[in-house]
Structure 1
Amino acid sequence: MSIDPSSIPNFGGKQPESRGSGGPQGPIVPDQDLVKQLLDQMELKYVVDEEGDLAAPWEQFRTYFMFRGEAEQQLYSVRTFYDRQHELDAKPQLLEAIDDWNRRTLWPKVYTHTHDDGSVRLIGEAQMLIGTGVALEHFVSSTVSWVRASIEFDKWLVETLGLQQEVDLEKPDDAGGDAGGADDDGPKPA
């Protein structure tokens, strides 16, 4: 199974050339190799963790591409673990913010996880039932949209909760300025 490069939205890098398509394809059951091909074409770095899950790391979060279940009940999940720790006292404010996000957007649906040490982190998730097959175009566009939405959520949270000062304090000093003309399209893969 091959992904038509012209079906992938451009993330600012070089747009791959289309190999042409012979029309719509029938349903496919996606797998990890297909996701790797998509991430390669999107020019995103990825690793396979010790549990065999595919992960794309960014500076402030990691997005996992996971397949769970058997046969017709197989589920494809894109789950983002945001690294920013929040204090337990901030949980009511976090819940209010993510409730607002969850009401206004389709994905990722975001929830909190409180660790044993009392720190709170956020997790975003989108899922698709793939066991009976899905259209390749639907799979590609959903995966790309979910990745972009995960990035957008992080930017939105920083703006909504006024975390920009915290983000600026975490950055190392840059005495030379930005001579490279880098754009501000959000977190970059690590």
Structure 2
Amino acid sequence: MPNSEGQPEPTSSSSAGAAILPDQDLVKQLLDQMELRYVVDEEGDLAAPWEGFRTYFMFRGEGDQQVYSVRTFYDRPYSIDDKPRLHEVIDDWNRRTLWPKVYTHTHDDGSVRLIGEAQMLIGSGTLLEHFVSSTLSWVRSSVEFDKWVIEALGLEKGMASEPEKGDEE
């Protein structure tokens, strides 16, 4: 878990350099240490809400194919007419950064939302330090993307909409 300077520290449950299989409890511990509020949704996924977006910490698959995914759903709605400009802006972000990779999702009502995602294959285990530093970096980058896209599109921060139920997929 990170120490007061944000650097990972091995816990007593894992020796330095030993591979672990991360789980939701480990992410909860990490979020607690980051002093971030979180909830477990009806599907059992862990979510941390922010003003204007929410970030999910999900584990999918089994065995060697298990994947840890950090996915952020940005609440600001765009119109279908905005989609070409959105693609131009998020392509720029995706070229410049490693994560999150951002894409659009068009809902049945024609509204368009942005989703950011980073993934790690964890089925055969990973180092605690790698898992912690990746998760911290992905969370920070998700927050930074929100600020960046508002500036890149020339939007006002206060224009973000309130979260709506059912926006996840």
Say whether the fold is shared (TM-score over 0.5).
yes
- Matched residue, 1:32: 24
Per the alignment, do residues 19 and 115 of structure 1 end up closer, same or farther by CA in structure 2, a change over 3 Å counting?
Answer: closer
Please report how far the alpha carbon of residue 170 of structure 1 lies from its aligned counterpart in structure 2 after TM superposition. Answer: 6.4
Larger Rg: 1
- Matched residue, 1:88: 80
- Matched residue, 1:100: 92
For 1:153, give the aligned amino acid.
Answer: F
Task: Tell me which of 30, 36, 39 is aligned to 1:44.
Answer: 36
Per the alignment, do residues 109 and 169 of structure 1 end up closer, same or farther by CA in structure 2, a change over 3 Å counting?
Answer: closer
Task: Tell me which of 143, 150, 156 is aligned to 1:151.
Answer: 143
Aligned equivalents of 2:17, 2:6: Cα separation in 1: 19
- Matched residue, 2:111: 119
Spell out structure 1 runs of 4+ moving beyond 6 A.
18-23
Q: Return the TM-score normalized by structure 1.
A: 0.78
Task: Tell me which of 137, 140, 156 is aligned to 2:132.
Answer: 140
Task: Tell me which of 44, 61, 77 is aligned to 1:69.
Answer: 61
Per the alignment, do residues 19 and 150 of structure 1 end up closer, same or farther by CA in structure 2, a change over 3 Å counting?
Answer: closer
Higher strand share: 2
Aligned equivalents of 2:160, 2:17: Cα separation in 1: 47
- Are the counterparts in 1 of residues 57 and 70 from structure 2 also a CA contact under 8 Å? yes
Structure 2's unaligned 5+ residue stretches are 162-169
Structure 1's unaligned 5+ residue stretches are 11-17, 172-190
Please report how far the alpha carbon of residue 62 of structure 1 lies from its aligned counterpart in structure 2 after TM superposition. Answer: 0.5
Q: CA RMSD in A?
A: 2.2
SS of 2:72's equivalent in the other structure is: strand
Alignment size in residue pairs: 159
- Are the counterparts in 2 of residues 8 and 140 from structure 1 also a CA contact under 8 Å? no
Q: Return the TM-score normalized by structure 2.
A: 0.88
SS of 2:114's equivalent in the other structure is: strand
Please report how far the alpha carbon of residue 83 of structure 1 lies from its aligned counterpart in structure 2 after TM superposition. Answer: 0.3
- Residues 103-134 of structure 1: CA distance to partner in whole angstroms, max 9, x if unpaired? 00000000000011110000000000001000
- Matched residue, 2:158: 168
For 2:56, give the aligned amino acid.
Answer: Y
Per the alignment, do residues 149 and 136 of structure 1 end up closer, same or farther by CA in structure 2, a change over 3 Å counting?
Answer: same
Identity %: 73
SS of 1:148's equivalent in the other structure is: helix
For 1:86, give the aligned amino acid.
Answer: Y
- Matched residue, 2:52: 60
For 2:99, give the aligned amino acid.
Answer: W
Per the alignment, do residues 81 and 8 of structure 1 end up closer, same or farther by CA in structure 2, a change over 3 Å counting?
Answer: farther
